[in-house]
Amino acid sequence: MTKKIGKRATIRDVAKAAGVSIKTVSRVFNDEPNVRDEIREKVRQVGQQLSYHPNVAARNLARRRSHLIGLFFENPSPAYVTELQMGALKRLRGTGYRLLIFPVEDRADIRGAMVSTVYASGLDGVIVTPPMCDDPVILEELLASHLPFVRVAGDTSVHGTGSVVIDDEAAAFDLAEYVLRLGHRRVAIVIGDETHRSARLRLMGFRRALQAAGIEPEPAMEIQGAFTFQSGLEAGRRLLHHANRPTAILASNDDMAAGVLQAAHELRIPVPQKLSIVGFDDTALAQMVWPQLTTIRQPIFEMAERAADILLKQIEKGVASETAKLSYDLVIRSSAGEAPTG
């Protein structure tokens, strides 16, 4: 009669069919008070019959909220990215907020386009990860826009921005110290993509540990990588072909550690008997290679979950973005052992 065939039922169709006003229907579908149970029931029933679903766009327009969160990332490790997504999604579950993903291939593309992208997608807020989240241009743009945003592993010293971090420097120090305690004196590092703040911090922690142990820094023992398996493989080959090769190699993430491990296998160097290798992050990959990686567990899932939590508070309650520091753990497995004697 009133409902046109082939079109989705609207709030008006339901109101008419149930013999109430649209406001009452609205109340029912938003679980608001001031509706008699009897009528509430009736409206629900009619809604069901007409298979009514509130129109999201209309609701968003009236409420001025899209319930859309964007996750921007630029990370070569699938395991890392998945953790990030699942963590954020865990916090979002049951809130009505949804997650949109924005993998960024080229940072240059996103510089100056971040805010437009957010507007164009109608996002209520964004979660940003390294290295973007420490890029001054992007950060400035975000700050100026007054859009709600949080960062995962972003520099906490930036004023007025929230970030969920671990102490990368201390973690790298602890990891290096562990290796040194095993008796290694010739230890190398494969540095992560240097535009990542964490890569720099990890390098600092490493250097501090060596210094504390009285070991002279040596440029040849610091190789630049890019957080990818491939870069780890190449770095490993270079280090292991070195005339006076290291007995231990620290990689700035697990993917690169797996690459170094593969280089060791290629050269038939037994791990950990002749060479110790350690990673960082404790992603799923750390347990999939052989021997399993000794590494630092960075709680990526929890960090993302926490970031989403902070963001939601910011969006819904206008609470200023807070910063949180989570703890890390040294996870001892079998890829690192005592330094070879002789």
Partner DNA sequence: ATGAAAGCGCTAACAT
Partner DNA sequence: ATGTTAGCGCTTTCAT
The footprint of a copy of itself (CB under 8 A) covers 53, 55-58, 60-61, 64, 66, 68, 78-79, 81-83, 85-86, 89, 96, 98-101, 103, 116, 119-122, 229, 255, 258-259, 261-262, 265, 284-285, 287-291
- Among DNA, a copy of itself, none, the one that 99 touches (CB under a kind-dependent 5 to 8 A) is a copy of itself
Among 2, 45, 49, 58, indicate the residue that binds DNA (CB under 7 A).
58
DSSP secondary structure letters along 259-299: HHHHHHHHTT--TTTT-EEE-SB--GGGGTSSSPPBEEE--
Spatial contact of 163 and 196, defined as CB atoms under 8 Å apart: no
> Closest separation between CB of residue 155 and DNA, Å?
34
Among 8, 98, 181, 185, indicate the residue that binds DNA (CB under 7 A).
8
Structure tokens that stand for 63 in this block: 């409420």
Phi then psi for residue 2, to 5 deg, are -90, -30
Should residue 16 be labelled a site residue for DNA when binding is judged by CB under 7 A? no
- Among a copy of itself, DNA, none, the one that 11 touches (CB under a kind-dependent 5 to 8 A) is DNA
Among 1, 5, 62, 144, indicate the residue that binds DNA (CB under 7 A).
62
> Closest separation between CB of residue 142 and a copy of itself, Å?
14
- Among DNA, a copy of itself, none, the one that 29 touches (CB under a kind-dependent 5 to 8 A) is DNA
> Closest separation between CB of residue 45 and a copy of itself, Å?
16
Should residue 49 be labelled a site residue for DNA when binding is judged by CB under 7 A? no
Phi then psi for residue 191, to 5 deg, are -80, 145
> Closest separation between CB of residue 47 and DNA, Å?
10
User: Closer to DNA at the Cβ: 33 or 94?
Assistant: 33
- Among a copy of itself, DNA, none, the one that 116 touches (CB under a kind-dependent 5 to 8 A) is a copy of itself
Closest of 184, 144, 175, 173 to residue 160, by C-alpha? 144
Among 1, 6, 31, 36, indicate the residue that binds DNA (CB under 7 A).
36
Spatial contact of 107 and 131, defined as CB atoms under 8 Å apart: yes
> Closest separation between CB of residue 45 and DNA, Å?
15
Q: Tell me which stretch binds DNA (CB under 7 A): 35-43, 68-76, 156-164, 208-216.
A: 35-43
User: Closer to a copy of itself at the Cβ: 61 or 212?
Assistant: 61
Residues 178, 217: Cα–Cα separation, whole Å? 18
Spatial contact of 312 and 97, defined as CB atoms under 8 Å apart: yes
* Partners of residue 7 on adjacent β-strands: none
Should residue 55 be labelled a site residue for DNA when binding is judged by CB under 7 A? yes
Residues 139, 133: Cα–Cα separation, whole Å? 6
Structure tokens that stand for 211 in this block: 């210094």
- Among DNA, a copy of itself, none, the one that 96 touches (CB under a kind-dependent 5 to 8 A) is a copy of itself
Write out the E strands in 212-327.
222-224, 248-251, 276-278, 295-297, 323-325
Phi then psi for residue 333, to 5 deg, are -125, -135
User: Closer to DNA at the Cβ: 30 or 244?
Assistant: 30
| Amino acid identity for residue 210 in this structure | L
Among 3, 16, 29, 155, indicate the residue that binds DNA (CB under 7 A).
29
Residues 248, 336: Cα–Cα separation, whole Å? 8
Residue 229 CB contacts under 8 Å (≥ 6 apart), including other chains = 255, 256, 258, 259, 262
Spatial contact of 162 and 322, defined as CB atoms under 8 Å apart: yes
Should residue 61 be labelled a site residue for DNA when binding is judged by CB under 7 A? yes
**Residue 191 CA: distances (Å) to CA of 94, 105, 181, 235, 283:** 40, 21, 21, 9, 18
Structure tokens that stand for 53 in this block: 């679903």
Among 3, 16, 44, 59, indicate the residue that binds DNA (CB under 7 A).
59
Q: Which residues bind DNA (CB under 7 A)?
A: 7-8, 10-12, 19-24, 26-27, 29-30, 33-36, 39, 52-55, 58-59, 61-64
